[in-house]
Amino acid sequence: MQPDSPAFTFLATRASYPSKLMTAPAPDRAALEPILQAALRVPDHGKLEPWRLIVGGRAALDRWADLAEARAREIGPEPERIEKGRGQFDRSHLAVIVIAAPKPSDKIPQIEQTLSAGALCAGLVNAATAAGWGANWLSGWVSHDRPFITRAFGCTDSEWVAGIIHIATPGAPLPDRPRPDLARTVTWA
């Protein structure tokens, strides 16, 4: 066995960068396409491609922020809900929305298709980080609110948001956060 030390070191030290602290610029289309291609190498269980992506730049982010605020006010004008819904789009420089879009299949259970969408989110964060960008996988109430995701992202009744991946330039280096304790989380059988 020949270990890939740089790849292992990257994975062993990789961390999401808080989207609130990212700065401009965000990757342009030419920089983002290889990241998307790398992330799309996700296991998709039967080549169903049970997901789709929406890339949002400034105009889309502004529209989604307005839609989030409008939807928050429909639910009830709680300032925290408005800020959480609107804020992640207002502060973002670029977001990739990963839509879980399971396909009818007798062979591939829906849960495996859902896990594929989650793997795509993780792969996108890893690929963006490996390419030198800051990346953060967020969700929040906007990801789970059916009226919002229908209006903002055109989700059908069988689709949902697996993640909102924010990508831009990382600001200052951050200290690592505490990580799970193997002794507490791993059982050796």
**Domain coordinates of the chain in residue numbers?**
17-171
- Segment 120-179, tens digit of pLDDT: 999 999 999 999 999 999 999 999 999 999 999 999 999 999 999 999 999 988 888 889
Greater confidence (4 vs 142) lies with 142
Q: What is the pLDDT of residue 3?
A: 82
- 43 pLDDT higher than 90: no
For 14-32, what is each residue's pLDDT tens digit? 999 999 999 999 999 999 9
For 109, other C-beta atoms within 10 Å of its C-beta total: 12
Question: CATH code for 17-171?
Answer: 3.40.109.10
pLDDT in tens, 94-103: 999 999 999 9
Band of residue 46 on the pLDDT scale cut at 50, 70, 90:
confident
CA atoms within a 13 Å half-sphere pointing along the CA-CB vector of 67: 20
pTM of the model: 0.94
The C-alpha atoms of residue 160 and residue 56 are separated, in whole angstroms, by: 17
Omega prior to 178 cis, within 30 of 0? no
The residue written with tokens 């928050």 in the block is 72
Confidence of residue 2 (pLDDT cuts 50, 70, 90): confident
Q: How far apart are CA 10 and CA 3, in angstroms?
A: 13
Instruction: Provide the pLDDT confidence category of residue 90 given band limits of 50, 70 and 90.
Output: very high
Token look-up 């998709």 returns 44
The interaxial angle of helices 79-90 and 58-75, nearest 10 deg, is 170
pLDDT band at 4 (very low <50, low <70, confident <90, very high): confident
